[in-house]
Amino acid sequence: MKQINIKLLLGCSALMLAGQSCTDLTETTYDVIPTSGTFGSTPNQAAALIGPLYNGLGEYWGNMSNLNTTTDEQIVPTRGGDWKDGDNWKRLYTHTWDPITDNGQFNGPWTWCYNNITSINQQLGTITDANTKAELRALRAFFHYQAMDLFGNVIISDAVTAATPKQNTRAEVFAFVEKELLAVYPNLSDVSGGAYYGRMNKYVADMILAKLYLNAQVYTGTPRWADAITRCDNLIKSGKFQISGDYLSNFAVQNQNSPETILATPFDKSKRGGFHPQMQGLHYLNQLTYNIGTAPWNGFATVTEFYNSFDAKDLRKKQWLVGQQYKADGTPLKDDALDMVFRPEVESFVFDAGANGRLAGARSQKYEIQKNNSFTEQDNDFVVYRLADVYLMRAEANMRLGNMGAALPDLNVIRARAGMPAYTTITLDELLAERGRELAWEYHRRQDLIRFGQFGKAWRFKDAEADNHRTLFPIPKDQLSLNPNLKQNPGY
């Protein structure tokens, strides 16, 4: 299955669209496909056009992994001279980022969204098949949703135009995404997996709408809990997805057949690279543990309190790597004179040079580390949306509507798989904690903290914030320079 979809995404690599400024919609993009006539009217031609567009979806992991450092689940401490990077990671973590100094952190996700939107708009004009057009409009809606979630007042771009695009309110973008997904829904495929693995279909549209409605109060000021439940019902009652018996199987090297996955971005270490979580977090000497071709970078870890939020009996705690590390032959590793033991405690954000700092923090092994791999990249597919989140979302929406009787069974589906006792009652704070344990490092945490009113709270090495302006990232200065219609978000 993975090979089929890698071919869909890469088989037309010669057609890859050149990147362009997201606000200069008149810039010419060159490729080998004619942009006039009827090309795209047959299924094979349509596949040739849409394959390269899905490569942009594969950049989800790379764009979201750094921004996850703005949450209470991920930390990138300075380890001697390593990961200092001008205190960039510290500013993200402590919510002291600067729109000028840290422009690159925000311009990357912005251009990721709008370069892909522009590419989709260019191809929509050549495609006549209604189902293919619906699929691409859904993909375009996904990128608008991402931009709105990260930056708030952004651009609605639904066509190639010579005009300088205007800035829309967050509520307007919300309405656009909702309207687009509802309009194309009848023409989206009801096939899950197979040829539609990693692609837009009815179920992905339901998931985006569920996320949209779950966060509607944040986005528009008006809650839409009942609408979120409706979309979650569609997914759960479809019978297309099941909770995997083994939590970590969803993230295995060969995870393309997981029955829980609603949307994933396929990766292949040699054919479609870009996924390397093992490089971010593992210690340099873990190269010898897994017999991999490149020494990892020893950076990302989880925050001590977040690690400690997992009960010792929680099967999901196995996603964290702690304790003595070994060579592949079982020989204990040492870092200088110290036993190479990962400890959950991160005592400081800035460590002096030496083994002590290099060993601080539990590391993520949620995505199975691919052994005997000579490539920097791994073969795991990154899971964007999965069924466990749907159960948790439906439970939350029911709780907020006062229907605890409907919420508890959904929560306990997730608890049972984790080997944890069923809830008999639950608070919203505990629900947020449960979402954290289930969805750690899947890049829902920032959105969750904002929705629960906790993004500005104090946590380890971070002070409480006086206002909520950092729930939105700054509009990148590069985009403000390119487009005079764009206005900076308040507080920056």
Q: What is the pTM of this model?
A: 0.93
Q: How far is 63 from 113, CA to CA, in rounded Å?
A: 10
Q: How many H helices and E strands in the chain?
A: 19, 10
- What DSSP letter does each residue of 288-352 carry, written as one string? HHHT-SS------B--HHHHHTS-TT-GGGGGEE-EE-B-TTSPBPEETTEE-EEBS----SEEP
Structure tokens at 182: 């509802």
Closest among 421, 402, 403 to 412, alpha carbons compared: 421
Enumerate the β-bridge partners of residue 446. Answer: none
For 480, the token pair is: 């403000």
pLDDT tens digits along 261-273: 999 999 999 999 9
Is the pLDDT reported for residue 30 higher than 50?
no
Backbone angles phi, psi at 384, to 5 degrees: -85, -45
Q: What is the pLDDT of residues 444-491, one digit of tens each?
A: 999 999 999 999 999 999 999 999 999 999 999 999 999 999 999 999
% of the chain with per-residue pLDDT over 70: 91
pLDDT, residue 48, reads 75
Statement: residue 19 has pLDDT above 90: no
Q: Give the whole-angstrom CA distance, residue 407 versus residue 159.
A: 42
Closest of 417, 408, 410, 460 to residue 438, by C-alpha: 417
Name every residue whose Cβ is closer than 8 Å to that of residue 267 and which is 6 or more positions away in sequence: 58, 273, 274, 275, 377, 378, 379, 380, 381, 382
Say if CB 461 and CB 93 are below 8 A apart: yes
What's the pLDDT tens digit per position in 199-227? Answer: 999 999 999 999 999 999 999 999 999 99
